[in-house]
Structures are given as structure tokens and as C-alpha cells.
Amino acid sequence: MARYTDRHAASGVRDALPKLETWPSQHSSDYEIVITIPEFTSICPKTGLPDFATLTVTYVPDRRCVELKSLKKYVNAYRSLGIFNENVVNRVLGDLVRALRPRRMAVRGAFAPRGGIQTTVEARFPRAEAGVAGATGAAGVTSPRVSRRRSPAGSSRRSEGGGRPKAR
């Protein structure tokens, strides 16, 4: 089998897609919108086989909301686009952030198993690097937030050796 190339990795990241349309939010207080896309399809750029997923977009709008018919056209354009799962989720997030400028947003792709492996990819806005104030997030937007990372054992009550709770 041929090796993965930079061309495979970049496939679909900059291809033209239908424009996302927006409409003005009528509410100034925080409220959350959850959009579920259960029949998302794209193409693996390496194998040419289809990838199936449920995409979930969760966001708190600021001034704009996405118009759902335009989102449907945008999402359906991926059906013929060769793009890796990780790039799908990050591209959808970036395109929606550029169109909406939301207060917060997360995009989650739960991809159907292929070859016995199931992949779930999640990307969030604003993004921040641990310990780096003013990190640049999706769509080049700067965020002063600093994310917290969990300990390697998954809980502050667990030791790094063996994963057993610490004696008190």
C-alpha cells in the first residue's frame, strides 16, 4: 500500500464549499443551540471509501445564528470531498466560527467504524494552549483562556504509578 503523503493530509482542507448563511440572533443572553447531523458523509482521501459520521455542532451564539438550509448544502458538499476525519471536524469548526463569531462552539464527529476502529474527533472554540495566554484559536481568533489538562492517570486522586488511589 502506498504511503500517506502531505497531499493526503491536506486534502479537502481548502476546497471551495457552499457559503454558510446567517441570520441575526434576537436574544442577548446566553443560550445554547445543538445541531445534530446524523447522516454526514465524506470520502477518505487515501482509499476513496466513504466515511459516515454523526456530526454534532453545539454553540452559544453572539449576534448571528446559522441558517439551517445553507448548513445542509454545506454539509452535503462533503459527500464528494476527500478529507480525513480530523480535518472534517476542524474545518467545520473553523468555517462556522468565521461565519458566526459565536461566544463558544464545539464540533464533534463520531465516525462509524471501519476496519474495526471507531473514531470520535472533537474541536472547540475558543481554543487555548495550556500555559500560553493569548493563544490563537480557530479562524485566527485570539483567546486569553488557558485550558486545564487532566493528570495522566485521569484524576488528581490517582497516582501516576498503577492508577490506584493515594493512601490518606
- Annotated catalytic residue, options 6, 15, 30, 44: 44
CA distance linking residue 125 with residue 143, whole number of Å: 9
pLDDT, tens digit (0-9, with 9 covering 90-100), for 76-111: 999 999 999 999 999 999 999 999 999 999 999 999
Which band of pLDDT confidence, cut at 50, 70 and 90, is reported for residue 127?
A: confident
pLDDT, tens digit, 9 for 90 and up, residues 50-66: 999 999 999 999 999 99
Phi-psi region of 74 (alpha: psi -120 to 50; beta: other; left: phi over 0): alpha
51 belongs to the catalytic site: yes
Active site residue 6: no
Is 135's pLDDT higher than 60? Answer: no
What CATH number is given for 19-141 in this structure? Answer: 3.30.1130.10
List 6, 15, 30, 51, catalytic entry = 51
Distance CA 1, CA 138 (A): 34
Question: How far apart are alpha carbons 83 and 80 in whole angstroms?
Answer: 9
